[in-house]
């Protein structure tokens, strides 16, 4: 990708269990338009129209 991504690294006090192991370290990043498009597609036809519209136009 040609642009840098804004991220924030951190450590949870209590980890999240996955595959029998607790994970504490994480990295958050700003969502991209592709992330939003994928989320809208994943929501499918039964998604709440009000919630989809709110995210579609940036009202959180």
Indicate whether 34 belongs to any domain. yes
Indicate whether 2 belongs to any domain. no
What long-range pairs does 7-11 form, CB within 8 A, spacing at least 24? none
Indicate whether 35 belongs to any domain. yes
Residue 25, strand partner residues: 11
Asked if residue 9 has pLDDT above 70, the reply is yes
Residue 19: pLDDT band (50, 70, 90) is very high
pLDDT for residue 52 = 65
pLDDT for residue 48 = 74
Structural domain range at position 20: 7-56
Q: What is the per-residue DSSP string for the chain?
A: --S---EEEEEEEEEEEETTEEEEEEEEEPPPHHHHHHHHHHH-TTS-HHHHHHHHTT--
Indicate whether 1 belongs to any domain. no
pLDDT in tens, 24-46: 999 999 988 888 888 888 877 77
Indicate whether 44 belongs to any domain. yes
Q: Is the pTM of this model over 0.75?
A: no
The number of domains in the chain is 1
Residue 23: pLDDT band (50, 70, 90) is very high
């Amino acid at each position: 990708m040609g642009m840098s991504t804004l991220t924030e690294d951190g450590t949870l006090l209590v980890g999240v269990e996955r595959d029998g192991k607790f994970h504490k370290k994480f990295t958050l990043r700003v969502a991209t338009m592709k992330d939003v498009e994928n989320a809208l597609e994943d929501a499918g036809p039964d998604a709440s129209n009000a919630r989809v519209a709110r995210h579609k136009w940036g009202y959180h």
